[in-house]
Amino acid sequence: MTRIELVQGDITTQEVDAVVNAANSSLLGGGGVDGAIHRAGGPAILAECKELRATRYPDGLPTGQAVATTAGNLPARWVIHTVGPVYAKKEDRSHLLASAYRESLRVADELGARSVAFPAVSAGIYGWPLADAARIAVTTVREADTQVEMARFVLFSAEILRAFEKV
């Protein structure tokens, strides 16, 4: 069973096997967690992402999917990039958010990662309501069939941490 930890902090400083990046489908960096990981990890991450775009994902990484690259200068060994869904009030896209977590764990298993740090996927600029994002994240990781021994949710603010603690 995977042990779940909750911390408020900076995901780019986590000493884990793999850090999950809340990426956009282009894989070429962006704002929020994505921008922070690319900045802290350095050019090696972007170089691998460009190669993935050219060879495997010319139309971008699909929502709910995940793929790994080097972690560059981060203390982790790998970055697992996943694309969470943009929140849509009139359409239930929760299966895509759960898939982003499940697929990240699947990739972690393929890599042999035993510890993974997750951000609150889709809970930032993608507008997912915090309470629901936390419920989906924690439930999906708790119920996953994975070899990952520890999943740490590294949450940017006290508000996000509180939402995850309630779950």
The answer to whether 151 and 141 are in contact (CB under 8 A) is: yes
Q: What is residue 19's three-state secondary structure?
A: strand
Catalytic annotation present for 109 = no
The catalytic residue among 17, 34, 59, 145 is: 34
Angle between helix 158-166 and 130-143 (nearest 10): 50
Instruction: For residue 156, give the amino acid letter.
Output: F
Angle between helix 130-143 and 94-111 (nearest 10): 40
Active-site positions read: 34
